Amino acid sequence: MIVVSCLLTLLPISLSEAQETSYWIIVDEYDTPLPGPPPEGWYYNCTGGDRGKLHEEDITYSWDGGSVYTAQVLRNPGAWTWGGMWYSLIRINRDSIPLDFKAIFGPYVNPEYQGEITEVEIVLSNVTSPSNNPNLELRLELKDKTDTSICSNTWGDLTSGPYPKTYRWSLSEHCKQRVKLFLWVMDRAQVGDSVSIDRVKLGARVPDLTTIPTEEQAFLWTYSWLMANYNPDTGMVQDRSNFGTGDMENISATAKAAKIAYYAWKKGHTSRDDAKAIITKIADTLINVVPRGPSGVNTLWPHFTKNGGTAPVTPHDGYAGTEWASGDTSYAALDIIPIGIPVVTPPILSRKDQGILSIINEP
């Protein structure tokens, strides 16, 4: 299972007296082609969401093939124009699932382990302006799931060097809301103006994870990103965060999420009630919703499902579709057996009510 479209980079930068550690989380390093259909383009950003260009009727975009994107004004039908890029955080834009800047590890991590987004950094590689435009601005903006602006920050005096320039925006408490979109915008631009961006990242502050072993720190981060792809309404886990909800769900990842939620509870990272709800929902979906086949031949689960586990994925958009997968069925069964879901063969899974799971009766 691929949780994000590129490596999620976590760079520890400081340890405060309040026993908190700060990290930089890469949103985009501009080391992939411009947004567009792959392989010529790449729609996705490093947080697991997608991205796109703004106001393309006036702005042209280019990539240097390394780590810089440039937005340049081609036409200006009014007093000034604008352009830039948007980023959907955690999941793709059309899913409208925001990232809570006050609880970045998501709803299935206990408050004492939660982190928050505290700042944003953008590196301006270069600026050109044939008219030496004194009004040219760079704006960063956060939007909610309704595409309404939460807050923004603007810098002027862009045309005076030297470059690169690094701009940091320390977020007020008002800005730390449930954010779906992050944008950078070249504003009040004239024909020929251009800005080149080298990197965008978010600053996160989390409890001092150095007090727990390294492998436990890794577990907490990866558990939170896995659960960002879990749908509590259906009990299924997306194969990738940059697929839309219900487009392509992964059977083995879904069963793995149940087992990992159990471990998260045992480690104290999540509550017993949350772990119980996750496990029971996944068990019910796998046993009573997900189809098995091939019909009349076997009772295997498919590798991928769609629409909340109700149907195998069929061939579409260049994808071959799914198969009835003995490997994935075995992996999934082995993941849910240890947490108390009885599995028998044949059939691989009984459709009968399996009773109360072991987690319910554990102290």
Same domain as 159, residue 69:
yes
CATH number at 59 reads 2.60.120.430
Q: Is residue 67 part of a domain?
A: yes
In a domain, 162, yes or no: yes
Percent of the chain with pLDDT over 70: 86
The tokens describing 320, both together, are 């071959």
Q: What is the DSSP string of 193-239?
A: -EEEEEEEEEEEEEE-GGGS-HHHHHHHHHHHHHHTTEETTTTEEBS
Residue 110, domain member (yes or no) = yes
Contact 28/199 with Cβ under 8 angstroms? yes
Secondary structure percentages of the chain, helix, strand, coil, to 5: 20, 35, 45
| pLDDT for residue 318 | 64
pLDDT at 345 > cutoff 70: no
Full domain range(s) for residue 49: 10-207
Query: 4-8, 215-219, 299-303: which range is least confident on average?
Result: 4-8
Q: Which residue has the tokens 């007020």?
A: 172
Q: In terms of domains, do 184 and 264 share one?
A: no
| Residue corresponding to tokens 């030297």 | 162
Residues 247 and 116 in one domain: no
What SS3 class is residue 349? coil
Radius of gyration from C-alpha coordinates of the chain: 23
Q: Which of 143, 173, 207 is the last residue of a domain?
A: 207
SS3 178: strand
**Predicted confidence (pLDDT) at residue 10 exceeds the cutoff of 70:** no
Q: Are residues 63 and 200 in the same domain?
A: yes
Claim to verify: residue 197 and residue 236 sit in the same structural domain:
no
Task: For residue range 66-118, list pLDDT tens digits in order.
Answer: 999 999 999 999 999 999 999 999 899 999 999 999 999 999 999 999 999 99
Q: Are 301 and 329 in contact (CB under 8 A)?
A: yes
Whether residue 23 is found in the same domain as residue 168: yes
Burial-class residue 214 by CB neighbours within 10 Å (0-12, 13-18, 19+). Answer: exposed
Domains identified in the chain, total number: 2
Q: Is residue 223 part of a domain?
A: no
Do 177 and 324 share a domain, yes or no? no
Residue 288 has which token pair? 């009573």
